[in-house]
Amino acid sequence: MIRSSATVVALAAGRSRRLAPITTLASGLELGLTIHVLEGDRPGPTVGVSAMVHGDELDGLLIARELVTTLEPAELAGSVWVLAVANPLALEGVSRNTPVDMLDMNRLFPGSPHGWLSEQQAHVISHEFIDHLDVLIDIHCGGTFPWVDYCYVVNDEGLSRAFLPELLYQPADPYPGTTATYAQQRGVRCTVVEIGGGYHDQPVHVVNGVRGVLNQLRYVGVLEGGVERRAGQRLMRDLRVMRPRHGGICVPKATLAPGQVVPGGTELADIVSPYSFEVLETMVAPFEESIVVLCRNFVTRIHPGDYGFMIGDGATASRYED
Ligand SMILES: [Zn+2]
């Protein structure tokens, strides 16, 4: 039995909320996490769905809301735990990083009870959420400005494919200290999905996101029914995060969408000085076959080193045969 300091609030049959305390803020307000628990009558795995590890990734919260309000506990074999807001202060501040310490919580797992607020929060997520799971689906998005559509392959390729993305990505060197890093260490089957962002076509991303998670729940046996497949899925092994050297105004030169392929040398965007209006640099597709993974479709502010675009290398990507 895993030790827990969460308070459990019973709601309707098969529905409860776990309230896990994190800390007391400088203002005296109590900070904690809310985990929605849907429990089936039949045995089965415990699947966790998390969102808003980064506070400017609202589409994940919208997908989580749909799941919590539409899933019927009686239809489940096993349980679904939904942590819709993993980083409450970052949600409040519409910020990728936690405003109090400005750290990226998703590089700090499993966290520490004696560290910065983000580390304390990661510690509570690790032990009050991930430790209880057999399967973790961590939902991310492009953030305030860019949008994305792909899935990481972590330790269960079928689980990632079952989200039904066209693009999948298996990095040779994954970021350390993520939810997925910790889940893997714990032997939890895991995927990280990246969907939506940039306030772009939110209803479409929510529909696709919910459809993907429901299919993953069928894949792991929590929901009954056949697992849907998507033909033509591509697995990328090399992906360039294109970070501009200069900040300024990012002016796209083409309207792009994730999954689109453009030839190397295609101009993606100009970074323009807001004062002199000169073009400080032009971002250019780097690979002969450049697969668009993350893009910006509007004129946006961009920081030096920011996520400008993400481009996959078609030369090292492969298509699934089945
Ligand atoms: Zn994220």
Domain of 244? Answer: 238-319
Tell me, yes or no, whether 181 and 256 share the same domain: no
Non-local CB neighbours of 310 within 8 Å, separated by 6+ positions:
148, 239, 240, 241, 242, 292, 293, 294, 295
Q: Ligand 1 centroid to 54 CA: how many Å?
A: 5
Q: What is the CA(95)–ligand 1 centre distance, in A?
A: 10
Say whether both 165 and 184 belong to one domain: yes
For residue 322, report the distance from its CA to the centre of ligand 1, in Å.
Answer: 30
d(CA 81, CA 37): 5
Residues 143 and 167 occupy one common structural domain: yes
Cα distance between residue 196 and residue 207, in whole Å? 11
Q: Identify the CATH number of the domain in which residue 198 sits.
A: 3.40.630.10
Tell me which of 171, 198, 230 is where a domain ends. Answer: 230
176 and 254 inside one domain: no
What pLDDT digit, counting tens, does each position of 219-270 carry?
Answer: 999 999 999 999 999 999 999 999 999 999 999 999 999 999 999 999 999 9
How would you label 77-109 residue by residue, b for 16+ Cβ within 10 Å and e otherwise? bbbbbbbbbbbbbbbebebbbbebbebbbbebb
- Ligand 1 centroid to Cα of residue 55, in Å, is 8
Say how many domains are in the chain.
2
Residues 212 and 74 in one domain: yes
**Domain C-terminal end among 176, 210, 230:** 230
Task: Please name the residues in contact with 203: beta carbons below 8 A apart, sequence gap of 6 or more.
Answer: none
Kindly give the distance from the C-alpha atom of residue 197 to the centroid of ligand 1, in angstroms, as a whole number.
10
Q: How many CB atoms lie within 10 A of CB 34?
A: 15
Q: If 0-12 CB within 10 Å is exposed, 13-18 middle and 19+ buried, where does residue 2 land? A: exposed
Is residue 2 assigned to a domain?
no
Among the candidates 193, 212, 230, a domain finishes at 230
Tell me how far the alpha carbon of residue 77 lies from the centroid of ligand 1, in angstroms: 29
Instruction: Please tell me the predicted confidence (pLDDT) of residue 77.
Output: 98
Instruction: Summarize the confidence of residues 13-18 as an average pLDDT.
Output: 97
Across 296-315, b (16+ Cβ under 10 Å) vs e yields bbeebebeeebbbbbbbbbe
Read off the pLDDT of residues 274-304 as tens digits, 9 standing for 90 and up.
999 999 999 999 999 999 999 999 999 999 9
- Average pLDDT of 33-38? 98
pLDDT value, residue 1: 62
Output the domain CATH number for residue 263: 2.40.50.100
